[in-house]
Amino acid sequence: MKYTQLSEEERYRIAALRVEGKSLSTIARRLGRAPSTISREVSRNRYPTDGHYRAYHAERMSRGRRSRARRGTRFGASDWKTVVRLLRLDWSPQQVSGHLKLKGLPSMSHETIYQYLLRDRRHGGDLWQRLRGARKQRRKRYGAYDSRGRLAGKRAITERPLEAENRSTIGHWEIDTVHGKGLGAVLTLVDRRSGYVQIGLLHRCTAWETNWRLGKLMARHPGCYHTITSDNGCEFHAYREVEAASEVRFYFAAPHHSWERGTNENTNGLIRQYLPKGMSFENLTQQACDAIARKLNNRPRKRHGYRSPKEVSNGALHS
């Protein structure tokens, strides 16, 4: 005979018969139920403070379990297919969750997606490796000192125009380099307003090659470079040549004040997901750098209401 769950009426009958002192087997016989069903019902739905069986509490507990079960199964295969596709684009669970809600798709919390990733890992899947937290976190180095910041005549970050400071317009950038094993590096440029990033390959991290690559990247978006904020690395010491050839103006953060370029620092962390520390850039190509930039520029950001940097730039910048 097919099993059916106990009804609310049956729970009140169980409670009444328990008050009369009837045994579980007697209650089961009177309700036409298996003794194991009655035993399980009384055991799992006892009132927490005194251990007695109360019908209203048992019914509430049962409804809660059914509700949680429905929530766990309300997503179909097509819903999870969409989630997996976005995770394989290296989106975080929070970004996936926000994107689904923004686009009017069946929404699920980022915690639900994290639990899915954990189950996938336990069953030998590889989706969890897409999480940025799967990689070793960077550590701050202590005791290091160099002579950066001794460039005469440079503009301080405090002199930046207001629109650069408050991120109100497109065209105010932060610049940095991310180094690989050996001599190779990549030049990173990120727009402060939108988070739109450009990545350029440097075979040697010299001032000459930095300026050459910067010119190539700037040529992709003419008229969209007003200011560039830099650290005090030697590769940026020839900045006046860039200023002479364009309308852009350079500004420099205080030495060892990386937090003054937080947009760039955060973006470099995202790039490290694809170019981890210790990796040689010897076989890296500009095409690969462009592919990484496209992924990041199409990835939704929480601070933009889960719109992507490309969407926020509203066509002013494009790959």
User: What is the model's pLDDT at position 260?
Assistant: 65
End-to-end CA distance of the chain: 64
pLDDT class for 126, splitting at 50, 70, 90?
confident
Question: CATH 3.40.50.300: does it fit domain 157-313?
Answer: no
User: What is the model's pLDDT at position 180?
Assistant: 92
| pLDDT exceeds 50 at position 172 | yes
Identify the weakest region by mean pLDDT among 63-72, 201-210, 225-234, 304-313: 63-72
Q: What is the pTM of this model?
A: 0.60
User: What is the model's pLDDT at position 315?
Assistant: 64
| pLDDT exceeds 70 at position 91 | yes
Rounded to whole angstroms, the Cα distance separating 89 from 151 reads 41
User: What is the model's pLDDT at position 144?
Assistant: 42
Mean pLDDT for all residues in the chain: 84
Per the rule left: phi > 0, alpha: psi between -120 and 50, beta: everything else, 173 is beta
The ranges assigned to domains in the chain are 8-73, 77-129, 157-313
User: What is the model's pLDDT at position 3?
Assistant: 66
Identify the weakest region by mean pLDDT among 35-49, 162-176, 215-229, 234-248: 35-49
Helices 24-31 and 35-44: angle between axes, nearest 10 degrees: 120
